[in-house]
Chains A and B, each alone.
Chain A
Amino acid sequence: ETGVTQSPTHLIKTRGQQVTLRCSSQSGHNTVSWYQQALGQGPQFIFQYYREEENGRGNFPPRFSGLQFPNYSSELNVNALELDDSALYLCASSWGLAGGSQETQYFGPGTRLLVL
Protein backbone atom coordinates (compact mmCIF):
# COMPACT_ATOMS: atom_id res chain seq x y z
CA GLU A 1 0.00 0.00 0.00
CA THR A 2 1.18 3.51 -0.86
CA GLY A 3 -0.38 5.41 2.04
CA VAL A 4 -2.37 7.57 -0.38
CA THR A 5 -6.07 7.44 0.41
CA GLN A 6 -9.06 8.70 -1.53
CA SER A 7 -12.71 9.17 -0.72
CA PRO A 8 -15.31 8.24 -1.60
CA THR A 9 -14.52 4.97 -3.37
CA HIS A 10 -17.58 5.16 -5.59
CA LEU A 11 -19.99 7.94 -6.47
CA ILE A 12 -23.04 8.30 -8.69
CA LYS A 13 -24.16 11.75 -9.88
CA THR A 14 -26.46 13.14 -12.53
CA ARG A 15 -25.65 15.53 -15.32
CA GLY A 16 -25.26 19.13 -14.19
CA GLN A 17 -24.43 18.28 -10.61
CA GLN A 18 -21.21 19.12 -8.81
CA VAL A 19 -18.84 16.68 -7.12
CA THR A 20 -15.93 16.92 -4.68
CA LEU A 21 -13.34 14.17 -4.43
CA ARG A 22 -10.76 13.97 -1.67
CA CYS A 23 -7.21 12.75 -1.39
CA SER A 24 -4.83 12.35 1.54
CA SER A 25 -1.23 12.28 0.47
CA GLN A 26 1.44 9.93 1.73
CA SER A 27 3.19 11.10 4.88
CA GLY A 28 6.12 13.37 4.00
CA HIS A 29 4.79 14.25 0.54
CA ASN A 30 3.95 17.86 -0.36
CA THR A 31 2.78 17.47 -3.98
CA VAL A 32 -0.49 16.03 -5.22
CA SER A 33 -1.36 15.32 -8.85
CA TRP A 34 -4.81 14.40 -10.12
CA TYR A 35 -5.52 12.15 -13.09
CA GLN A 36 -8.64 11.03 -14.92
CA GLN A 37 -8.74 7.48 -16.20
CA ALA A 38 -11.50 6.54 -18.61
CA LEU A 39 -12.35 2.87 -18.96
CA GLY A 40 -9.71 1.01 -20.95
CA GLN A 41 -7.37 3.98 -21.18
CA GLY A 42 -4.33 5.32 -19.41
CA PRO A 43 -4.60 8.08 -16.83
CA GLN A 44 -4.77 11.66 -18.15
CA PHE A 45 -3.14 14.47 -16.16
CA ILE A 46 -5.63 17.02 -14.81
CA PHE A 47 -3.50 19.26 -12.57
CA GLN A 48 -0.88 19.26 -9.86
CA TYR A 49 -0.66 21.09 -6.53
CA TYR A 50 2.53 21.97 -4.73
CA ARG A 51 2.37 23.70 -1.34
CA GLU A 52 -1.25 24.76 -1.86
CA GLU A 53 -0.66 26.32 -5.30
CA GLU A 54 -1.61 24.92 -8.70
CA ASN A 55 1.59 23.85 -10.40
CA GLY A 56 0.54 22.95 -13.91
CA ARG A 57 -2.65 21.89 -15.63
CA GLY A 58 -3.53 19.45 -18.36
CA ASN A 59 -6.11 19.83 -21.10
CA PHE A 60 -9.18 20.03 -18.87
CA PRO A 61 -11.80 22.81 -18.78
CA PRO A 62 -12.07 25.32 -15.89
CA ARG A 63 -15.02 23.41 -14.40
CA PHE A 64 -12.32 21.08 -13.07
CA SER A 65 -10.77 22.82 -10.11
CA GLY A 66 -8.82 21.87 -7.05
CA LEU A 67 -7.46 22.79 -3.68
CA GLN A 68 -4.57 21.73 -1.53
CA PHE A 69 -4.64 22.22 2.21
CA PRO A 70 -1.81 23.01 4.68
CA ASN A 71 -1.58 19.32 5.57
CA TYR A 72 -1.09 18.64 1.81
CA SER A 73 -4.35 16.80 1.40
CA SER A 74 -6.26 17.82 -1.69
CA GLU A 75 -9.69 18.11 -3.26
CA LEU A 76 -10.81 17.84 -6.86
CA ASN A 77 -14.03 19.65 -7.71
CA VAL A 78 -15.97 19.16 -10.91
CA ASN A 79 -18.89 21.46 -11.73
CA ALA A 80 -21.65 20.96 -14.28
CA LEU A 81 -20.99 17.25 -14.62
CA GLU A 82 -21.20 15.71 -18.07
CA LEU A 83 -21.67 12.09 -19.04
CA ASP A 84 -18.07 11.95 -20.31
CA ASP A 85 -16.82 12.79 -16.83
CA SER A 86 -17.58 9.21 -15.84
CA ALA A 87 -14.17 7.77 -15.01
CA LEU A 88 -11.78 6.67 -12.32
CA TYR A 89 -10.20 9.71 -10.67
CA LEU A 90 -6.75 9.08 -9.30
CA CYS A 91 -4.58 11.19 -7.09
CA ALA A 92 -0.86 10.67 -6.76
CA SER A 93 1.44 12.14 -4.14
CA SER A 94 5.12 12.85 -4.34
CA TRP A 95 7.86 14.92 -2.79
CA GLY A 96 8.70 18.13 -4.62
CA LEU A 97 11.40 20.71 -4.19
CA ALA A 98 11.10 24.43 -4.91
CA GLY A 99 13.40 24.16 -7.92
CA GLY A 100 11.44 21.29 -9.35
CA SER A 101 12.29 17.68 -8.86
CA GLN A 102 11.22 14.49 -10.49
CA GLU A 103 10.22 12.27 -7.66
CA THR A 104 8.18 9.12 -7.91
CA GLN A 105 4.43 9.58 -7.82
CA TYR A 106 2.49 7.10 -5.72
CA PHE A 107 -1.15 6.58 -6.55
CA GLY A 108 -4.20 6.11 -4.40
CA PRO A 109 -6.92 3.54 -5.18
CA GLY A 110 -9.06 6.09 -7.01
CA THR A 111 -12.67 7.25 -6.90
CA ARG A 112 -15.01 5.71 -9.45
CA LEU A 113 -17.45 8.40 -10.65
CA LEU A 114 -20.50 7.53 -12.68
CA VAL A 115 -22.50 10.37 -14.23
CA LEU A 116 -26.02 9.47 -15.34
Chain B
Amino acid sequence: GESVGLHLPTLSVQEGDNSIINCAYSNSASDYFIWYKQESGKGPQFIIDIRSNMDKRQGQRVTVLLNKTVKHLSLQIAATQPGDSAVYFCAENMGDSWGKLQFGAGTQVVVTP
Protein backbone atom coordinates (compact mmCIF):
# COMPACT_ATOMS: atom_id res chain seq x y z
CA GLY B 1 0.00 0.00 0.00
CA GLU B 2 0.98 3.62 -0.09
CA SER B 3 3.31 4.69 2.64
CA VAL B 4 5.49 7.39 4.01
CA GLY B 5 9.21 6.73 3.87
CA LEU B 6 12.46 8.41 4.82
CA HIS B 7 15.62 8.55 2.72
CA LEU B 8 18.23 8.36 5.48
CA PRO B 9 17.97 6.20 8.58
CA THR B 10 20.73 8.07 10.44
CA LEU B 11 21.92 11.66 10.19
CA SER B 12 25.05 12.83 11.98
CA VAL B 13 25.27 16.59 12.42
CA GLN B 14 27.84 18.79 14.08
CA GLU B 15 26.56 21.05 16.79
CA GLY B 16 25.74 24.47 15.37
CA ASP B 17 25.22 23.22 11.83
CA ASN B 18 21.86 23.06 10.09
CA SER B 19 20.10 19.69 9.75
CA ILE B 20 17.89 18.59 6.89
CA ILE B 21 15.71 15.53 7.24
CA ASN B 22 13.92 14.28 4.15
CA CYS B 23 10.73 12.32 3.69
CA ALA B 24 9.01 10.89 0.61
CA TYR B 25 5.31 10.22 0.57
CA SER B 26 3.30 8.36 -2.00
CA ASN B 27 -0.33 9.06 -1.10
CA SER B 28 -1.31 11.87 -3.45
CA ALA B 29 -4.57 12.33 -1.52
CA SER B 30 -2.73 13.32 1.66
CA ASP B 31 -3.16 16.98 2.46
CA TYR B 32 -1.80 17.25 5.98
CA PHE B 33 1.70 16.45 7.19
CA ILE B 34 3.34 16.56 10.58
CA TRP B 35 6.87 16.21 11.90
CA TYR B 36 7.36 14.58 15.28
CA LYS B 37 10.47 14.21 17.44
CA GLN B 38 10.82 11.16 19.65
CA GLU B 39 13.44 10.91 22.35
CA SER B 40 14.37 7.60 23.88
CA GLY B 41 11.67 6.30 26.20
CA LYS B 42 9.20 9.05 25.34
CA GLY B 43 6.21 9.53 23.10
CA PRO B 44 6.41 11.51 19.85
CA GLN B 45 6.54 15.26 20.39
CA PHE B 46 4.86 17.58 17.89
CA ILE B 47 7.32 19.84 16.08
CA ILE B 48 5.51 21.43 13.18
CA ASP B 49 2.78 20.69 10.66
CA ILE B 50 1.88 21.84 7.18
CA ARG B 51 -1.19 21.60 5.00
CA SER B 52 -1.09 20.97 1.28
CA ASN B 53 -2.14 24.51 0.39
CA MET B 54 1.26 25.67 1.64
CA ASP B 55 4.80 24.90 0.51
CA LYS B 56 6.69 26.29 3.47
CA ARG B 57 6.07 26.88 7.13
CA GLN B 58 8.43 28.14 9.79
CA GLY B 59 8.56 27.61 13.51
CA GLN B 60 11.15 28.25 16.15
CA ARG B 61 14.45 27.06 14.58
CA VAL B 62 12.52 24.69 12.31
CA THR B 63 11.20 24.96 8.78
CA VAL B 64 9.09 22.45 6.91
CA LEU B 65 9.08 22.40 3.12
CA LEU B 66 6.48 20.59 1.06
CA ASN B 67 6.96 19.79 -2.63
CA LYS B 68 3.75 18.23 -3.88
CA THR B 69 5.08 17.83 -7.40
CA VAL B 70 7.62 15.23 -6.31
CA LYS B 71 5.79 14.22 -3.12
CA HIS B 72 8.62 15.29 -0.86
CA LEU B 73 8.67 16.73 2.61
CA SER B 74 11.67 18.05 4.52
CA LEU B 75 12.42 19.36 7.99
CA GLN B 76 15.20 21.87 8.45
CA ILE B 77 16.61 22.50 11.91
CA ALA B 78 18.75 25.60 12.28
CA ALA B 79 21.79 25.68 14.55
CA THR B 80 21.38 22.08 15.69
CA GLN B 81 21.85 21.55 19.41
CA PRO B 82 22.64 18.43 21.47
CA GLY B 83 19.02 18.43 22.64
CA ASP B 84 17.95 17.90 19.04
CA SER B 85 19.36 14.36 19.12
CA ALA B 86 16.35 12.09 18.66
CA VAL B 87 14.41 10.10 16.09
CA TYR B 88 12.37 12.27 13.74
CA PHE B 89 9.22 11.02 12.05
CA CYS B 90 7.21 12.50 9.27
CA ALA B 91 3.56 11.55 9.21
CA GLU B 92 0.76 12.07 6.73
CA ASN B 93 -2.96 11.90 7.17
CA MET B 94 -4.53 8.70 5.88
CA GLY B 95 -6.76 10.29 3.32
CA ASP B 96 -9.64 11.28 5.56
CA SER B 97 -10.46 14.45 7.38
CA TRP B 98 -9.80 13.17 10.87
CA GLY B 99 -6.05 13.28 10.87
CA LYS B 100 -5.45 9.59 11.34
CA LEU B 101 -1.75 9.42 10.74
CA GLN B 102 0.56 7.17 8.77
CA PHE B 103 4.17 7.35 9.92
CA GLY B 104 7.43 6.65 8.22
CA ALA B 105 10.18 4.57 9.80
CA GLY B 106 12.04 7.55 11.24
CA THR B 107 15.46 9.17 10.99
CA GLN B 108 17.91 9.06 13.87
CA VAL B 109 19.63 12.43 14.27
CA VAL B 110 22.90 12.38 16.20
CA VAL B 111 24.40 15.73 17.15
CA THR B 112 28.15 15.64 17.67
CA PRO B 113 30.13 18.31 19.55
Choose one: B94, B96, B101; the contact of A105 (CB below 8 Å): B101
Instruction: Judge whether A42 and B106 touch: CB under 8 Å.
Output: yes
Q: How far is the CA of A90 from the CA of B43 in the complex (A)?
A: 7
Of A14-22, A60-68, A77-85, A92-100, the one with at least 4 CB within 8 A of chain B: A92-100
**Chain A residues, CB < 8 A from B42:** 109-110
Q: How far is the CA of A66 from the CA of B70 in the complex (A)?
A: 38
Chain A contact-residue range equals 20 to 34
Of B44-52, B60-68, B71-79, the one with at least 4 CB within 8 A of chain A: B44-52
Instruction: Judge whether B34 and A43 touch: CB under 8 Å.
Output: no
**Which residue in chain A gives the minimum CB-CB distance to B48?**
A104
**Chain B residues, CB < 8 A from A90:** 43-44
**B51, B100, B101 pick with most chain A CB within 10 angstroms:** B100
CB distance from B38 to the nearest CB of A (A): 9
Q: Does B27 contact A (CB under 8 A)?
A: no
Q: Mark B16-47, 1 if CB is under 8 A from A, else 0.
A: 00000000000000011010100001111110
**A43, A44, A90, A94 pick with most chain B CB within 10 angstroms:** A43
Q: Does A55 contact B (CB under 8 A)?
A: yes
Instruction: Judge whether B32 and A106 touch: CB under 8 Å.
Output: no
Given pairs A43-B101, A104-B99, A106-B46, 19 additional interface contacts (CB within 8 A): A2-B43, A33-B101, A35-B101, A41-B105, A42-B105, A43-B103, A45-B94, A45-B102, A48-B98, A50-B98, A56-B98, A90-B43, A102-B97, A104-B46, A104-B49, A107-B46, A109-B42, A110-B42, A110-B43
Binding site for A on B (CB under 8 A): 4, 31-32, 34, 36, 41-46, 49, 51, 89, 91, 93-94, 96-106
Binding site for B on A (CB under 8 A): 2, 4, 31, 33, 35, 40-45, 48, 50, 55-56, 58, 90, 94, 96, 99-110
A-B contact pairs, 11 of them (CB 8 A): A2-B43, A43-B89, A48-B98, A90-B44, A94-B99, A100-B98, A103-B99, A104-B99, A107-B36, A107-B46, A108-B43
